[in-house]
Chains A and B, each alone.
Chain A
Amino acid sequence: MATVDSTVRAGATAARDADGGAAGIGPYRLALRRLRRNKAALAFGALFALIVVLCLCAPLYADRIAHTGPNANHVTDTVMVGGVSKDVVSPTGQPLGPTWHGRFLLGADQNGRDIAVRLLYGGRNSLEVGALATLLTMVLATIVGIAAGYFRGVVDGVLARILDLIWAYPVVLLGIALGTSLALGGIAIGPLQLQGNSLLVPAFIIGIVYIPYVAKPIRGQVLGLREQEFVDAARVGGAGPLRIMWSEILPNVSSTLVVFVPLMVANAILLEAALSYLGAGVQPPNPSWGTMISDGIRLIPSAMHLTFVPGAMLVLAVLGINVFGDGVRDALDPRAKVRLEERGEEASR
């Protein structure tokens, strides 16, 4: 298949810069300069950062402004809105809409819980799952990709087949199947013992599912790098394979990896939302943007704030990191244009 993978090219270009630019400015410094000139990317990056900070301040908000926790139910309580006493949840189960005041700023859900508080705590969970999943993906994909590309032969054969297996399994189906199964049974692999409703379970699943998206291009890049002279030189100089992989190969794929990170975070957040919508992601009562949207969809016609609020937050966060990620990619190789790794985003559809 005639394809071009230019996230790889971005990394390769940066590598080339690193190679030849001994007297010039390093590739990352160059990239940083280009990035700083990209106003849009910076703005959206700041947006994402703002959302992260807001979510980290969840306990502050809960204590000082909302005066309630994320799981505190107020089904039969009332609240004063503009001098009028209103039910938090009506006798027929309709929750309160946004009050635009400290308590129930963005409204309540069907259990009378404060949506704004849950939004922030949920954001923490969604971001945590996204970050952990990305970490898992990047670490494992790097190891697998480099090992497969460097050792070739049998090792490559086995690893590539495993990657193909995960790749061929429809992503969402694999996610739900694993999610449903592990939510019930938890994970018990050797020292790794996780309860079914731990946040690490969806993080683990999302992390595993995305490994091929990163490992395959890395593997391709390493296959090429392997043939270059500096690797031969290192080998002749007596360095063992592990040494070579660590000090010669890894730095040269590092910029590829850097470009993948924001993309994977965005994908992880989206996949978590999709899994939670189907009940196989974050487990109750832990809020997450995905579970809030899923719960809210039931009540859309009469209480649309339940869906719109977490939905808007999610879109803004993902948009922020997508645009910033684009900027990072452009900065590392302004010529790199083809974006095939975006296939990863489609997976969570």
Chain B
Amino acid sequence: MRVWIRGAAAIAVALLMAAAGCGGGGSDNKGSTSGGGGQEGGTISVLMGTAPDYLDPGLGYTTQSAEATWISYTPLLTYRHETGQAGGELMPGLATGQPQVSSDGKTYTLTLRRGLEFSDGRPVRASDFRYTIERSIRVNWGGKSFYTSYIAGAAAYDSGDASDISGITTDDATGRITIRLTEPYGAFPNVLAFPSSGLVPSGTPMRNLSNDPPPGVGPYMITNVSPNRSFTVRRNPRFASFNIPDIPTGHLDAVNVKVISNTQSEAQQVLNNEADVFDAGDTLPPSLLPQIESRASDRFERVPVPSTYYFFLNTTKPPFNNLKARQAVNYAIDREAMVRLASGFLEPSCFFIPRGLVGHPTSACPYGDRPDLARARQLVQQSGMAGTPVTVWGEERSPRREYVDYYTDLLNKIGFKATEKIIADAVYFPTIGNAKTDPQTGFADWIQDFPNPSDYYLLMDARAIQPTNNQNFSKVDDPFIQKELKRLNPVPATRLDSVADDWTRLDEYTARQAYVAAYGEESMPKFFSDRIAFDSAVFHPTYLNDWATFQLK
């Protein structure tokens, strides 16, 4: 009996050591060394704390999904595979060049490259583009209003009144694609770059195919899906032959993604080199930070990602219908405190358009760099709003709840009577976006749909205010903003630089009006095992870990 136990213990210990030493999947594939000093080939393991919402490109909307789909389903236009502001620039994907936009901004013309094939060998045709858009609408993609609100005939297709989208015409022989819009929409090129605009073959069933995603055109393809558990992104051998410029063909053979909902274990595995990538969309457990920073400083970095974190200030009711009261909040907020509450994963800012985006003001914050509680209290007194009861809304999960804990205490310090109301994440935005709730202030964030300031100013647009699912929580209705948006929104995304200064001036105006109390943009963790070449791996501003640029050392 005892001998058996000892034997079992020995085996257990051996297994432990093997697991510790192995370091994730197949490090044995040694291919030829590329010029950059890294290896070609190999497999890595990625750990995700949240499963992708859908692996079907027509449905996916979260970063976890996009990480896999944007390198597997290239759309007509796509983004540069680079970091920072360069990563927000549009470039041709499956199209031969940038779109030709008519002078009234309502017609876009592109030409499909020749000789393209899907990952299963089928040839790509121009008509596949129209089918792809129709499919994304039919399967009810969460962002389908980008299509139905702007593409002529898309709304009719959506409601079933038409059997196809009249506004998209294609010619398979020449590869020409013409898209007519109902109104000029500057961000339309960004819409063309969504993963859900990534081409799939005509005839692909119009239902959720996440368990067995359709073929696409891209350096990689999604295979081996075990729903909510794991999937593999494998190199697509056909892609390299298409010679599409500026889209990397990929160094790795395969990326094995595993979903485990314990971020603590996730981080520890990467720290111990038992797994390769800590998914950027997850929060690093703050308790492990000291260890990570001391043991793994050469493979860990906090990368700011364009996003805005702010407290909305309802301008239609007391106390924040008063400018001084709103300014007081902006003077009082200690942005350094917010950074600490975020365990360092916040880049402080007081402007609405984040860094890394065209239009972000580089001028000084109108409220100073340090909080000024005395000034804030004074302003509250002057506004006549001192003692007003304020309900502060917040989400349950950390660190958002901690932000609101701090904010509520702050409001009390400067003279309001604030109490907080924390509700379940699942109903938070529907609740604060409901006119019946009409919240005074609370937590809000905006992770961009695409790198275009017009996406952020949706939240300041008076036309966006609606009785349910409102996103303009401050209920901003400012004639100057409306005038500027009318002028700036139709500018095509491919010509953003020409209006950069206008956006900057608009954002500075918004900051002075204190319609919100913005405090920063989120940083996400770039955290790998020591197998991966850290610096050459691109952390994309929109799509985070760009696996197509990853390489083993």
Within 8 Å by CB, do A and B touch in the complex?
yes
Binding site for B on A (CB under 8 A): 71-73, 75-76, 89-94, 110-111, 180, 183-184, 196-197, 279, 283-285, 295, 298-303
Mark interface residues in B416-427 (1 if CB within 8 Å of A CB, else 0).
000011111001
| A279 to B344 Cα, complex, angstroms | 25
| B396 beta carbon closer than 8 Å to chain A | yes
Do B420 and A91 have beta carbons less than 8 Å apart?
Answer: no
- With a cutoff of 8 Å between Cβ atoms, the chain A residues found around residue B422 in the complex are 197, 283-285
Residue of B nearest to A197 (CB): B421
Residues of A within 8 A of B406 (CB): 73, 75, 111
Beyond A93-B344, A279-B424, 17 additional pairs, beta carbon < 8 A: A72-B409, A73-B337, A73-B410, A75-B340, A76-B334, A76-B336, A89-B341, A91-B339, A92-B293, A93-B289, A110-B402, A111-B402, A299-B286, A299-B287, A301-B291, A302-B286, A302-B291
A75 and B341 form a contact (CB under 8 A) = yes
A281 nearest CB across to chain B (Å):
12
* Chain B interface residue bracket vs A: 35 or more
Does A184 lie within 8 Å of B427, measured CB to CB? yes
Chain B facing A: main interface SS: helix
The answer to whether A92 and B344 touch across the interface, beta carbons within 8 angstroms, is: yes
- Whether a CB of chain A sits under 8 angstroms from the CB of B408 is yes
Residues of B with C-beta under 8 A to A90: 340
Min Cβ gap A77→B in Å is 9
Partner of A71, one of B289, B337, B398, B409: B409
User: From residue A183, how far is it (CB to closest CB) to chain B in Å?
Assistant: 7
Q: Which of B322-349 contact A (CB under 8 A)?
A: 334, 336-337, 339-344
Question: For the complex, is B121 an interface residue (Cβ under 8 Å from A)?
Answer: no
Contact A111 B285 (CB under 8 A): no
How many Å from the CB of B460 to the closest CB on chain A? 29
- Whether a CB of chain A sits under 8 angstroms from the CB of B290 is yes
Instruction: For the complex, give the distance between the alpha carbons of A90 and B289 in Å.
Output: 12
Residue of A with least CB distance to B425 = A279
Residue of A nearest to B342 (CB): A93
B437 → chain A closest CB, angstroms: 11
- B253: CB under 8 A from chain A? no
Cβ contact within 8 Å between B421 and A196: yes
A92 with B289: in contact, given A111-B406, A184-B427, A285-B408 (CB under 8 Å)? yes
Please, how many angstroms separate the alpha-carbon atoms of A73 and B405 in the complex? Answer: 8
A-B contact pairs, 12 of them (CB 8 A): A73-B406, A75-B340, A75-B341, A89-B341, A91-B344, A92-B344, A94-B286, A111-B405, A111-B409, A298-B286, A299-B286, A303-B287
Which residue on chain A has the smallest CB distance to residue B334?
Answer: A76
Hey, which bits of chain B sit against chain A, CB under 8 A? 264, 285-291, 293, 334, 336-337, 339-344, 394, 396, 398-399, 401-402, 405-406, 408-410, 420-424, 427
Given A92-B286, A94-B290, decide whether A284 and B420 contact each other with a Cβ distance below 8 A: yes
Q: Is the interface of A mostly helix, strand, loop or mixed?
A: loop
Distance A295 CA – B405 CA, assembled complex (angstroms): 13
* Distance between Cα atoms of A69 and B293 in the complex (Å): 33
Residues of B with C-beta under 8 A to A111: 341, 402, 405-406, 409
Partner of B405, one of A71, A183, A298, A302: A71
Residues of B within 8 A of A183 (CB): 423-424
Which residues of chain B come closer than 8 Å to A295, judged between CB atoms? 398
Taking a contact as CB atoms closer than 8 A, the residue among A71, A73, A180, A299 that contacts B424 in the complex is A180
Chain A contacts for B396, CB-based, 8 A = 279
Q: Which 9 A-B pairs have the closest CB atoms?
A: A93-B343, A75-B337, A302-B287, A301-B287, A92-B344, A299-B287, A73-B409, A284-B422, A73-B406
CB-CB < 8 A to A303: which residues of B?
287
Chain B residues with Cβ under 8 A from A94's Cβ? 286, 289-290
One of B290, B342, B398, B409 near A302 (C-beta < 8 A): B290
Shortest Cβ distance from B289 into A: residue = A92
How many Å lie between the Cα of A76 and that of B336 in the bound state?
7
CB distance from B396 to the nearest CB of A (A): 6
Residues in B whose Cβ lies below 8 Å from that of A75: 334, 337, 340-341, 406
Q: How far is the CA of A301 from the CA of B285 in the complex (A)?
A: 10
With A71-B409, A92-B344, A93-B342 in contact, do A110 and B286 touch (Cβ < 8 Å)? Answer: yes
A76 contacts which chain B residues (CB < 8 A)?
A: 334, 336-337, 340
Bound complex: CA A67 to CA B82 (Å): 51
- Chain B positions within 8 Å of A298 at CB level: 285-287, 398
Report the separation of the CA atoms of residues A41 and B104 in the bound assembly, to the nearest whole angstrom.
Answer: 87
Q: Are A284 and B401 also in contact (CB < 8 A) when A75-B340, A196-B421 are?
A: yes
User: CA of A302 to CA of B289 in the docked complex: distance in angstroms?
Assistant: 8
- CA–CA, A17 and B167, complex, Å: 92
CA distance A285 to B408 in the complex (A): 10
Quick check: A285 and B289 within 8 Å, CB to CB?
no
Complexed CA–CA distance, A300 and B342 (Å): 17
Chain B residue at minimal CB-CB distance from A71: B409
CB distance from B24 to the nearest CB of A (A): 22
Contacts of A91 in B (CB 8 A): 339-340, 344
Residue of B285, B337, B401 most packed against chain A (CB within 10 A)? B337
**Distance of A82 from chain B, by nearest CB (Å):** 21
Distance of A349 from chain B, by nearest CB (Å): 20
Q: Which residues of A contact B337 (CB under 8 A)?
A: 73, 75-76
CB nearest neighbor in A for B420: A285
A300: chain B residues at CB < 8 Å are: 287
Provide the bound-state CA to CA distance between A111 and B398, in Å. 11
Query: Cβ of B264: which chain A residues have Cβ within 8 Å of it?
Result: 301
Q: With both chains docked as a complex, state the minimum distance between the C-beta of B9 and any C-beta of chain A, in angstroms.
A: 26
> Whole-angstrom distance from the CB of B409 to the nearest CB of chain A?
4
The CA of A38 and the CA of B343, in the complex, are separated in Å by: 51
Decide yes or no: A93 and B340 within 8 Å by CB, A180-B424, A183-B423 being known contacts. yes
- Complex contacts, B401 vs chain A, CB 8 Å: 284
| Given A197-B421, A301-B288, A110:B341 Cβ within 8 A | yes
